[in-house]
Structure 1
Amino acid sequence: MAGNVVKGTHGRSRKGHLGPIGPIGPAARTAAALVLAAAACVRCAPVAPQALASRHGVPFNGFSTHAVVLDGKAFDLDTFTVSAWVKLHSLREPQVFVNRGTRAQLFTLYLFKGKVRMLVEYAPDKYAYANADAPKTEEWTHYLGTYDGTVITVYANGVPAGTAKAPGRLPPSEAPLYLGAEAPWASTLDGWLDDVRTWRRALAADEARRVAFGGEVAPADLVGRWRKDTLRQGEWRNMADESLSAEYLDDSKRPVRKDDGYRGIWYYNQPSNDEYVYKYSGGLGTYCAKHRPFAIYSKEANKTFFCYGGTPKGKNELLHMVSYYDHATGMVPRPTILLNKHTDDAHDNPVISLDANGYVWVFSSSHGTSRPSSLSRSTKPYSVEEFEHVLTTNFSYTQPWWLPGRGFLFIHTRYQGGRCNYQMTSPDGREWSEGKLLAKIDEGHYQVSEPWNGKVGTAFNYHPQGTGLNWRTNLYYMETDDFGETWHNAQGKALTLPLTEVENPALVHDYKADGLNVYMKDLAFDSKGNPLILCLTSKGYESGPENDPRVWTTARWTGTEWDLQGSIRSDNNYDTGSLYVETDTFWRLIGPTQPGPQPYNPGGEVALWTSEDLGHTWKMVRQLTHDSAFNHTYVRRPVNAHPDFYAFWADGHARKPSESRLYFCDKTGEHVWRLPPVMEEEFASPELVR
């Protein structure tokens, strides 16, 4: 079937675009009657819908607003229908219109992967969904989904759009009904809702069309109806049954809670169908090198604040966790659960920052555009007990730097036909500049950035066109000393942005000519502000000895040229550690350079190396971990690292799902502690494992 084509107030053609209705006077009733008459004949002349699109609806802000009917028993039905008028401000995903249950359970009417889905769990842990086209932004669209115990049907503006077989019944549950969100702070709608309705049976096609055109349909079977004009001071009255009225909430404070121990996320990427099982995998709570920083020491509080990707007990689902190590007591509190990302993708891991007033900021990343990203700030300085939501947006590979007297210079990636290097700036973390594209060469980049005395540098590789993202090569460097207004190369030559050509003045070395892949690891500076880049080179992306040697390589700007050195070997491209330039002639490297229990997979045993000749030679001072059951991965350097919390990492089995624990070590590597996986008290001392 095809929907009527109607003309809007600006003369644009809009297919089936109609808005919710409210109480209408005689003139409006005449217009509504014309529209209803049009509904009876698909081929009739277009009709102006202004009378049906005159209301603004109930607003949802895309992060904290939601409405909930806590008593969900009335919605535990064999068959049912749910409908809503929707006007979206943006098409970020997912956005939930109406929901019961956790993700992929019970039922959800929502926007996801470019479609509006009516999802139904028709048997325990089994679900199906029917799709309709996504709406246009800033235009009212009516969606209605039915489930008759056999088939799911979804309608857009009264027109059938998709079906799916789903024989069975919703699993019995008393889960609440949410309007405009999956749950508090989860997949919240960014726009407006109106005239949300539920029925205790599946409506027929003609009934669904009448609902879209404002009709009163099956009132005896109506379980709930919530309209804008029934919302009063936080109570959204249910016109069908006032005992099932919804509570409408908008609280910018995130509802955080404490966990009972420190558990990291386990993640894999790209099955390899060989003995190594995956391209990369393991305990990735401090993943990836392009997320930084994970920890920061505050002299004022004498605490190292840190974040990581965690999991709830018994479920590998990504939680954004925040905590601190108290250097005065040698203890850690129960970690704070900031939010649930509802994915197991460690690319969504958080990073942390402190502003000039000691407020803790958490930047919650996303892998591409399929999930929202957000900013949260502690409500008190040097505290992780309570956070407020500041912003919902989208960014990836997250690297925020607080520059004293300036604010945040936020280096990040946006997925726009590839991985594009971007910056944003903010004086306070609340008001942000527009994004500024720094580089987009061929299919994009991976970058690592670092501040030094008011400037910020970034080093990156690039993905050659047509080779796929597993191929990454070349090394580039650029820096800014005026808060991102201008950028120049190490020589001081101003760059014309964005960089789009392979050959450009930011090029450090042409590794493509050498036939080598380049994996970014770290960036540091000497006392003069000269950059030192840490990367790893190999002959290919696949795991195994065929792509040896894998060389930890430093690129140091001498003041006149780039000096490239490398002698430490590794057995996987994703072995990641940190570079510490403690003096101009004494460097330290802490990383999983030694083969682990799962050789040629990411990570291994952690070792501490030093160089006293500008990276020309390295000496392994000591191996920090021995005889481990799991590989240790992604050893990270805190900002302003304290000698007692000098590196931070996780472990995990590199070839199959496992638990993951979190560790830190002191500056000398003589002591290694494991954060307590289980805590019985509010505070605990980390376990000394070396």
Structure 2
Amino acid sequence: MLGTFLILSASLIVEAPAPLPRAEGYVGCWYSVGATKDEYKYKYSGGMATYPQQQSPIAIYDAPSNRTFFVYGGADPARKSILHMVSYYDHASGTVPRPAILLDKKTSDAHDNPCLAIDAEGYLWVFSNAHGTARPSFIHRSVAPRSIDAFEKIEETNFSYGHPRYVPGKGFLFLHTKYSGGRGLRFTTSPDGRDWSPFTPLAHIDQGDYQVTGRRDGLIATVFDFHPKPLGLDARTNLYYLQTADMGATWTRADGQVVPLPLSEPDNPALVRDYRAEGKLVYLKDLNFDADGNPVVLYLTSKGHEPGPRNGPHEWHTARWDGRAWIVRPFTTSDHNYDHGPLYIEPDGTWRVIAPTEPGPQPFGTGGDLVMWTSNDQGASWTRVKQLTADKARNHTYVKRPENAHPDFYAIWADGDARAKSESSLYFTDRLGARVRRLPVKMTADVQAPEAVE
């Protein structure tokens, strides 16, 4: 009987996850979509380690450890597959470790890039997306709090464009996209990241929708577009807004009016502005909140999806809810639909944007050179504070705002040639843009300081 007990006990032993392998340094993936057969080469392309804007967050500052944890799409040695990478910047020492390789996504499609959440106990949760239904998605949790050494796989499933939002005391609200007859927005909730509620559809208007999301304390919000037939995503337009203060039990407009779900018609109560009637496309950038908890949306409009000046001007706007109405104001212009940057709203009321609004070495290509802008009057006027990059070889783009951003690690992004496949590095900067630093491409030690960019 003892022998039988030992055999049964051995069969119940679960091996602890092995430590993750480490990369030699920080190398981002390169990706392209839509060959154009003209001088612009692709609809969009370049260094896509922090792509796309439709999933977030990818970086979170954790005060107890004084570290900014982040995930990104890395490149395998052959530059053929995307590796899901996990790392952190240690603010006390000013260093980064060798990044951990969570998994090989076995695709070069940067839509599969990961996003991140941190729960109340400090465990890291990595949500590995899939572009459509052909490949699986994954949820992993760190074995130890505030550690990138080892992760356990919680679930293998399928989701796209994930937005895991963790609310202390309540758990996760996971907004994401499901491909089924287009791109449908939906959500699920979980108190612990292991047991998830049934999926609830949020919106599927015509051929679908893209969204960006934001959280302020217990309020979670989404701003989204819709994809009209026959062009679908290449005709993306309109601006919609919804928010929930009760983990998805009810969804309302900014004025508090409850909106029944799911939304399926272009003319619905969540509509902020009808850009289809104006003949304009809408490319969403970011969603943030002012000191009163009112939402502010950053986005770009243009005349068409093809790159080049013929579809310009590519106009950036802000849309701010002032408590009574949405106030839409112009911000600036750039030269590509997929120029991307975040909106910061700081405690003193300063609005700050870091975005590729200078053309860069590949004009009319994705990204460009980064510029920091500020506004002290809620977007009525803007000051061009400084240009952060002046690259002679590669465009910079997909600047992302860390959740709870620390002033020393205020934005993270990647570079890449927008005309041809290239190497790609990752960068970050501080709140004032005083220093741009590149994460080390080939490390000579297990822990190393980032490189200053002159």
Question: TM-score normalised to the size of structure 2?
Answer: 0.96
User: d(CA) in 2 for partners of 1:382 and 1:437?
Assistant: 33
1:486 and 2:250 aligned: yes
Q: Secondary structure at 2:317's aligned position in 1?
A: strand
2:109 aligned to which of 345, 351, 370: 345
Which ranges of structure 1 fall in alignment gaps of 5 or more residues? 1-231, 236-248
Q: Secondary structure at 1:469's aligned position in 2?
A: helix
* Matches for 1:194-343 after TM superposition, within 5 Å: 253=17, 256-343=20-107
1:375 and 2:139 aligned: yes
Q: Is the 8 A contact 2:318 2:331 kept in 1?
A: no
1:605 and 2:375 aligned: no
Deviations 1:339-392 (A, max 9, x none): 000000000000111000000110000000010001001101110011011011
Q: Which amino acid aligns with 1:319?
A: L
Q: Which amino acid aligns with 2:103?
A: L
User: d(CA) in 2 for partners of 1:448 and 1:485?
Assistant: 20
User: d(CA) in 1 for partners of 2:294 and 2:395?
Assistant: 34
| Structure 2 counterpart of 1:245 | none
User: d(CA) in 1 for partners of 2:431 and 2:73?
Assistant: 24
Instruction: Decide which structure has the larger Cα Rg and report it.
Output: 1
| Structure 2 counterpart of 1:634 | 398
1:563 and 2:327 aligned: yes
User: d(CA) in 2 for partners of 1:638 and 1:381?
Assistant: 19
Deviations 1:228-254 (A, max 9, x none): xxxx99x9xxxxxxxxxxxxx985736
Higher RCO structure (Cα 8 Å, ≥6 apart): 2
Give percent identity, aligned residues only: 54
2:241 aligned to which of 471, 477, 487: 477
Q: Which amino acid aligns with 1:408?
A: F
User: d(CA) in 1 for partners of 2:302 and 2:213?
Assistant: 22
Q: Secondary structure at 1:257's aligned position in 2?
A: coil
| Structure 2 counterpart of 1:649 | 413
1:499 and 2:263 aligned: yes
Q: Is the 8 A contact 2:25 2:443 kept in 1?
A: yes
| Structure 1 counterpart of 2:336 | 572
Q: Cα offset for 1:313?
A: 2.0
1:596 and 2:360 aligned: yes
1:449 and 2:216 aligned: no
User: d(CA) in 2 for partners of 1:449 and 1:469?
Assistant: 18
User: d(CA) in 2 for partners of 1:295 and 1:627?
Assistant: 24
Q: Is the 8 A contact 1:296 1:641 kept in 2?
A: yes
Q: Cα offset for 1:314?
A: 3.1
Q: Is the 8 A contact 1:604 1:631 kept in 2?
A: yes
* Matches for 1:60-71 after TM superposition, within 5 Å: none
Q: Is the 8 A contact 1:282 1:655 kept in 2?
A: yes
User: d(CA) in 1 for partners of 2:72 and 2:251?
Assistant: 31
Q: Which amino acid aligns with 1:391?
A: E
| Structure 1 counterpart of 2:167 | 403
Q: Secondary structure at 1:397's aligned position in 2?
A: strand
Q: Cα offset for 1:446?
A: 0.4
| Structure 2 counterpart of 1:413 | 177
User: d(CA) in 2 for partners of 1:584 and 1:487?
Assistant: 30
Change in CA separation of 1:250 and 1:574 when aligned onto 2, cut-off 3 Å: farther
Q: Which amino acid aligns with 1:604?
A: G
Q: Is the 8 A contact 1:254 1:389 kept in 2?
A: no
Q: Cα offset for 1:468?
A: 2.7
Q: Which amino acid aligns with 2:434?
A: E
1:516 and 2:255 aligned: no
- How many residues of Structure 1 are paired with residues of Structure 2 in the alignment? 446
Deviations 1:309-353 (A, max 9, x none): 001223231000000000000000000000000000000000111
Q: Is the 8 A contact 2:177 2:184 kept in 1?
A: yes
Q: Is the 8 A contact 1:584 1:614 kept in 2?
A: no
Which ranges of structure 2 fall in alignment gaps of 5 or more residues? 1-6
User: d(CA) in 1 for partners of 2:352 and 2:69?
Assistant: 22
Q: Cα offset for 1:585?
A: 3.7
| Structure 2 counterpart of 1:203 | none
Q: Which amino acid aligns with 2:313?
A: P
Q: Secondary structure at 2:276's aligned position in 1?
A: helix
Q: Secondary structure at 1:256's aligned position in 2?
A: coil
Q: Is the 8 A contact 1:306 1:352 kept in 2?
A: yes
Deviations 1:410-431 (A, max 9, x none): 0100001111011110001011
Q: Secondary structure at 1:563's aligned position in 2?
A: strand
User: d(CA) in 1 for partners of 2:226 and 2:348?
Assistant: 29
* Matches for 1:147-166 after TM superposition, within 5 Å: none
Q: Cα offset for 1:614?
A: 1.1
Q: Is the 8 A contact 1:442 1:465 kept in 2?
A: yes
Q: Which amino acid aligns with 2:343?
A: L
Q: Cα offset for 1:466?
A: 2.1
Q: Is the 8 A contact 2:374 2:382 kept in 1?
A: yes
